[in-house]
Structure 1
Amino acid sequence: MIAHIAGIIAAVAFLVLVCFIGIFLVRMTKTMGEINRSLNTITDDVDALSHQTENIMSNANELLKDVNGKVASIDPAFQAMGDLGQSVSDLNAATRELTAKVGKNNEKKNRFASATKVGKAAFDVYRDRRNKHHDEEE
């Protein structure tokens, strides 16, 4: 009889083990199903993000090409402005030089004019004396 009781206990223990394994497998199946659904959702989201990212990158590349083209088209304008600035600077330098030369020439002219006035005054004095001397002789 003890053998029958031991067999029944072993059978009950095996039945409990099978039930726990069954419950574990059912829960594991549910978890795996949720993981599969989550992976499908994540895959769909990543595909959508990838598509949007490709569109953004394409638009960014087009925008960059457009900006590069426009920058290339205005480069000559900036070069011309730089050349104009250099020309204005050269003109200012030439004007300063001319002003300095004119100032020096005016200084020389003023000296010459002073010398001329002194010479004229001296000549006038000489002529007046000669005329007086000539008038006295007559």
Structure 2
Amino acid sequence: MIVILYVAALIAAIALLVIAIYLSKTLKSASQTMNEVAKTVEKMTNELQGISGEAQQLLDKTNSLLDDVNGKVAKVDPVFDAIGDVGTSLLGLSQSVRELATLATNKVSANERKVAQAISVSNSILALKDKFKASKAAKTKSKRS
């Protein structure tokens, strides 16, 4: 019975040794994995610092470019305002000319009869004048003959 106890203790010791060996290999593998993870994180940190520096430079350049564009747009705004004012003025002028033309057309239409009568009277006077001249010329010719 004592032998069985020693054999059982020996088997337990061997089992503990096997467990310890496998546990040691597992812990060594886990340690290597953790070391690689730490190296990867360190590399990523360095790369992110480089990228963040470049991103900051790009952001600074973008801000300065935006300030430049805003300054130039502010300088050009009065030109567009002036163009808008010219357009408004031209619209007002066009409307005034249209109203003036309409008024003149209406006045001409209203005075059309009077103008026609005046032309008729002036034509009659001119015809009478021509007859008078012809009559005078005939009298002068007959006196000479």
Give me the TM-score of the superposition, normalised by structure 1. 0.78
Counterpart in the other structure of 2:13: 11
Q: Does 1:68 align with 2:75?
A: no
Match of 1:34 in 2: 36
| 1:20 paired residue number | 22
When normalised by structure 2's length, the TM-score is 0.75
Question: Whole-Å Cα distance in 2 between the matches of residues 2 and 103 of structure 1?
Answer: 137
Task: Report the secondary structure of 1:79's partner residue.
Answer: helix
Aligned mates of 2:50, 2:98 — CA distance in 1: 69
1:88 maps to 2:90: yes
Amino acid at match of 2:53: H
Number of residue pairs matched?
126
Instruction: Please give the alpha-carbon distance, in whole angstroms, between the structure 1 residues aligned to 2:115 and 2:20.
Output: 133
Match of 1:136 in 2: none
Amino acid at match of 1:64: L
**Sequence identity (%):** 30
Which structure 2 segments of 5+ residues have no match? 133-145
Unaligned runs of 5+ in 1: 129-138
Match of 2:135 in 1: none
Q: Aligned partners of 2:119 and 2:55: how far apart in 1? A: 92
Q: Deviations over 1:5-26 (max 9, x none)?
A: 2222121111111101111111
Quote the RMSD (CA, aligned, Å): 2.4
Query: What's the CA shift for 1:88?
Result: 1.0
